[in-house]
Amino acid sequence: MKTRAPKQQAPALSCDCHFHIFGPFDQFPMSAGRSYSPPEALVPAYLELAATLGLQRMVVVQASVYGTDNAVTLDAIGRFGLHRARGRGD
């Protein structure tokens, strides 16, 4: 299902302050001790969503399924660019 653009445009520099990137799992395998297994949620799909919603900045949150391995979050931030993205580990 494709997200439709909202009727009202988001304010300039709107920020998504909490979302996760999952995968690709062959490059970023999940922790063996995880309590759930989410489907892939990849950078290109998120960029399409952000563009549709008018989000210009973002905070990628480290998902628990990766344990203490921050590689997927760091990769996503690098792909989004430091001019628009930051990360958070919980």
Distance CA 76, CA 47 (A): 11
Q: What is the pLDDT of residue 5?
A: 87
The DSSP secondary-structure symbol of 74 reads: H
pLDDT band at 90 (very low <50, low <70, confident <90, very high): low
**b/e map 52-86, b = 16+ CB within 10 Å:** ebebbebebbbbebbeeeeebbeebbeebeeeebe
Q: What is the arithmetic mean of pLDDT over 57-69? A: 96
- Mark residue 47 as left, alpha or beta (left: phi above 0; alpha: psi -120 to 50; beta: remaining): alpha
pLDDT band at 45 (very low <50, low <70, confident <90, very high): very high
Distance CA 11, CA 44 (A): 23
Q: What is the arithmetic mean of pLDDT over 17-39? A: 97
Q: How far is CA 62 from CA 24, 74, 84, in A?
A: 15, 9, 17
Q: What is the pLDDT of residue 9?
A: 87
Q: What percent of the chain is modeled with pLDDT above 90?
A: 89
